[in-house]
Structure 1
Amino acid sequence: MKRRGLMYMLLSGCVLVCRLQPDGFVRRFHAVAEKKSWADAQSYCREKFTDLAGIGDPSQNAAAWQAAGKGEFWIGLFNSDWKWSQQEDLDPSLVTTFSYWFLGEPKLNCATVSSFGIWSTQDCRAQSYLMCYSADSNRHILVTQKMSWSDAQTYCRSKYTDLSTVRSLKDNLDIASLLQSLISLKDPIPAAWIGLHRNVWMWSDASNASYRSWADNQPDMGGNKDCVEMKMDDHTAGWSTESCSNAMFFICYSDVRALALRSVKFQLSGGSVELNDPALQDAILLQLQQKLGAAGIREGVKLRWRKQPDGKVFHRAPPAGREEEPGIHI
């Protein structure tokens, strides 16, 4: 009877504790001391780990810094590709490679066309004329009311089809010709929004983390600096933009299941059963696993006995009344 009672106590205690086990993940960062372009670093991280480092808060930034130490390392943040507003409808015919950028462009994230037909970028919140496209009449329409790019997109979609897509030199000349009617002493080179834009910063793993740790005077969008590195020394770990073709070290990440160690201790009294018999201890662990399974806990839990310094699990209470307690690790 005493042996059966012992098993019941262990089983009951285990079930109560095992329900507290976490099922979350912990992010681990891995610094790779091989110099690669951003795209090659991304491929390497996806093959060997999960992806290029995604950093969602200050604690993860500190962990990446600790993993890499000093130097310059790619992380997973990048400036997304350019796309046309009408491409959001997934019409393959709207994909075009035509462009007519001014020297040094693109720098910002929303595009305009000038009365000379030259493309440049503006802050998407800036106020500008807009060029809409009507699929019904197959023509571009100049709207002389000034608004932001997103408001221009909404306006064109509500009144016509969308902001204009420039597929060819002819489209470009047609738009420039419409803008020439607005030339004045106050506005010698008028420009209008077109549908070309990019969604600014994205993470390689497509997470939506908004945390940023930019260094001073960053991000610098000049010179096609569309990928982000982490620059670290003894005191700071700031982010900077660089050309994606540059070769440098990089930081990968992997998410591993979080492990928690829990100890259940018992005080037993009386009985002649040899509790340090390995066969008896194995039988108890087996019944514990069966009890957990019956409670619906079948994965992510491992049980083992904790041995005392002398190699035993259970100790008789010493004469002074002090009690050494057995334990089980979960």
Structure 2
Amino acid sequence: MERVLPFVLLISGFSGVILCKPEYHFVNETKNWIDAQTHCRNAYIDLATIHDMEDISRVKSIIKNEKSAVWIGLYKTDVDLWKWSLEDKSLYSPGEYEFRNWDTTQPTLEPNEECVRALEGNGKWHDAACDEQHIFFCYDENLNATLINESKTGHSAKAYCREKYKDLASIRNLKENQQLHEIAQKKSFWIGLIRDSWKWSDGSNSSFQYWSSGELFNPVNSNEYCAVITPSDGLWGDRTCTALLPFLCQKEKEIKERKTIKVKLKSETAINMEDPKVQAAILQQIHERLQLSSDVKVTWKKQADGNVFHENKERKKKRKREDL
């Protein structure tokens, strides 16, 4: 049964959220991917998950002196899902994330066709080998689409957009499809839809990928199911999981930014606010009220006297008068 505490929770003095990033640790020992995963889980938390270009820069600075590729926590599964490169669903109106404009007989789901292009002529979508070269659109921070009139492979186009803008552009409805089709002068162009069968070892739902051009185009029977990062440019490749390589682990999240929350409680009944169970219940309410993600840690800050809460002076005087 859900426990309801008899007080009103008021929150003030809070701005922003606590931002966290993985703490990466390079292990200069050569192991296959499975053994590297086991080592990281025993000594740290897991093989490294990389969330964005900021993480790429951090990793590059850690492994910059390494000559060989380095294992990260990405691996291939048997489950294929169509995802937008810009996966944050809060940026889409209802129904827009699921919008599709496939041509007749599409998608074909051929093993090497993991990218999507809008077809010249009618603007319908085809799945395509990512090593094809086409022009493309990038989203800026305001989700305005800019035409990049330079032909690149699918993965190179995505990497370019993430480095120079925000991401490879999505198409959220038929109106956008027609607009971009006309801007591209009815030429074929890449869109941000990808067929993704890669997962992170720690279960993270990060959709960020930074593949090197020419990767992922292996024959059907290829066994290159594990991912590496190259120290020189931070780009990723797929390798046979039995290869012996150094690897990157991640530790507990480190606090990048700390914010203070001031809590004021009103209650008509007596509550022991120093009771750990009461304090834990209040923290849970704060988490829910502020809609904090699961990786944000909220703790109490004790005052100089060792207590977390102090009774309001006016309330304290009133209580004393009532006790007389």
The question of a shared fold, defined as TM-score above 0.5 by the shorter chain, is answered with no
Larger radius of gyration: 1
- The TM-score, its normalising length taken from structure 1, stands at 0.39
Select the structure that is richer in helix: 1
Structure-2-length-normalised TM-score: 0.40
Q: With CA pairs under 8 Å and 6+ residues apart, which has the higher RCO, 1 or 2?
A: 2
